[in-house]
Chain A
C-alpha cells in the first residue's frame, strides 16, 4: 500500500531564516505531487504541483519554491521566511491519470 511522509511535524523558525520541508511517497511510481498551505481556520491553497522529476508548476506567486529531485520526493523551500509564511503545509499525491489526492500528515510552521 502507498504511504506519504512529511517532516518535520512542527517547526518554529525566525523571520528571515531559510526553510526546507520534505515529502516522500512510498509504494507508487511517478506520482503527481502537490504542496498546499492552510492558514489558521481557512481552506487549503494549492501552492505547487509536479507531474515528474524536475517538473514544477506554481499556482501562487510567493516567497516559496518547490523542487522534485527524485520521483517520490517533493521539497518545499524558502530562502527567507516571512511572518505570512506561517501555516499548516500539506503534501499530497495522486496516481498519474487518476484524480483522488491523498494527503500527508502535514507540517505546522510558525514564523516568529
Chain B
C-alpha cells in the first residue's frame, strides 16, 4: 500500500471550513483514498473514501486531484467537536493491511 504525507497539525476557527491536505504521490491505480478521524481516547471513526471522483457525505467532502497524487478533506463548517487526529490512508479495495500514519492533529478554536 502507498504511503501518505500529512501536516502534523492545523488550526481552524469554529464555523469556518477546515481543509486537510494529504499527499500520496505513489498511489496505484487500484488504491482508494480513505479518511478516518480519532477523537482523544476513542477508536477511529470512518469519514469518507474515494477512488477518482470527488465525494461528499454528511460529514465531509473529499477532493482528489486529477493525477490522484494528493487529496483534500474538507469539513465545511468546523465545530469544536471536530478537534481530532485525521488520518489519510490509501489501500487496495479488499486488502487487509491498512497503514495508519501519524495523521494531522486538527485544533478547532472558538
Contact = CB atoms under 8 A, between A and B. Distances in A.
Contact of A100 (B42, B49, B97, B101): B49
A74 to B, nearest CB: 14
Given A46-B97, A49-B96, A57-B96, A99 B32 contact: yes
Nearest to A96: B94
Contacts of B44: 44, 90, 92, 103
B101 A43 contact: yes
Contacts of B91: 99
What class of interface size applies to chain A in its complex with B? 20 to 34
Given A32-B96, A97-B94, A99-B32, A42 B102 contact: yes
Interface string B84-109: 00010001011111111111000000
